[in-house]
Amino acid sequence: MKRTFDLKTLIRPNILDLKPYRSARDDFDSGILLDANENSLGAPFENDLELHRYPMPYQEELRARIAAFRKVDSENIFTGVGSDEAIDLLFRIFCVPGSDEVLITPPTYGMYKVSAAINNVQVQQVLLTPDFQLQVAETLEAATDKTKIIFLCSPNNPTGNNLRTEDILTIVKNFPGIVVVDEAYIDFSEQESFATQVKNYPNLVVLQTMSKAFGLAGIRLGIAIASAEIIQYMMKVKAPYNVNKLTSQAALRGYSNIEGMQIKVKELLNERERVIDELSSMEKIEKIYPTDANFLIFKVDDALEIYQKLATEGVIVRYRGNEPHCENCLRLTIGSVDENDAFLQALRNILQSD
């Protein structure tokens, strides 16, 4: 019998029944605050953020700002400690350890597998095609009654390319479990975000992050966008004060300057074109794969050795040659002009001396 999507039957019974921790500030957040065992005299240094007080458990202001930018409602937004926290919470909400499965489409972001292993959840794999697109029918066929989540990544890491919108939609429409679309690199891409589609598809979870286009990897702010019901479960399972005050202040500043973010994105995309031109002029580079992100992969003979030689020159890239369809591939993050020049010069020297 064909399964249909039913959120309540997908959620682990212990999570359905969970009574979440009630934080001290759930009932009152002003007045003489002697309820949370904080240090009422303050931190040992001056600060404007009342750092001696716990942060807002539900980050209402930040979630409203993100919602306005992504054209959804606050109730559709979860904020966490990087998108890695959101990935882990999805495992804990939907996957019974030792019994349930998730499906990934390698080559893809490594954390889905690590999070699965931490949560003792089996991973099924349906490879992308050699040009890094989804095998849609095969992916849908591989999913079983035990498959709770399919992870898709667009633009995809480590390959850099967008997955085709219509392929993602076909999977969202036909898979009766949760489909995660990881959009960590969406602001580098011309593809439209799936964020507003959470209104149409109750099984869709979109992941975003401030670590990439917003240039705020150091603050650890990740975002999940989904139906209000799914977000409520994420709120229920998360640690009470997961997003700290320093992070939310920096995140708010980030969302207050979208134009600043877009200017930097444009600069990186221009640099990406220059780096691609330069790499194309090097005879020994076999292939540069199309990219929609702030990184790219390229194929070169003896990639592992070149990776090591680059490192001894002080230039660190990522060897991805062990990933399916990525034999002899290196992944390069686009840097500043100076960093890219240093990389190009080091690579030229290494290839010439071979």
Residue 82 found at the interface with ligand PLP (CB under 6 A): yes
Query: Which 3 state secondary structure label does DSSP give 92?
Result: helix
Nearer to ligand PLP among residue 67 and residue 206 (C-beta) = 206
Residues with Cβ within 8 Å of 246's Cβ and at least 6 positions away in sequence, in order, are 49, 51, 219
Q: How many CA atoms does the CB half-sphere of 272 hold within 13 Å?
A: 24
Closest contact distance (angstroms) between CB of 206 and ligand PLP is 11
DSSP per residue, 134-157:
--HHHHHHH--TTEEEEEEESSPT
Structure tokens at 296: 């790219």
Residue 88 found at the interface with ligand PLP (CB under 6 A): no
Residue 139 found at the interface with ligand PLP (CB under 6 A): no
Site for ligand PLP in 167-226 (CB under 6 A): 182, 184, 209, 211, 217, 222
**Best CA proximity match to 82, nearest among 209, 230, 184:** 209
Nearer to ligand PLP among residue 25 and residue 220 (C-beta) = 220
Contacts of range 139-142, beta carbons closer than 8 Å, 24 or more positions apart:
139/103, 139/105, 139/171, 140/170, 140/171, 140/174, 140/175, 142/103
Residue nearest to ligand PLP (CB): 82
Among 109, 175, 233, 343, binds ligand PLP (CB under 6 A): 109
Closest contact distance (angstroms) between CB of 68 and ligand PLP is 20
Quick one: which segment of 42-50, 67-75, 78-86, 281-289 binds ligand PLP (CB under 6 A)? Answer: 78-86
How far is Cα 272 from Cα 283, in angstroms, rounded to an integer?
A: 19
Residue 296 found at the interface with ligand PLP (CB under 6 A): no
Residue 242 found at the interface with ligand PLP (CB under 6 A): no
Closest contact distance (angstroms) between CB of 40 and ligand PLP is 34
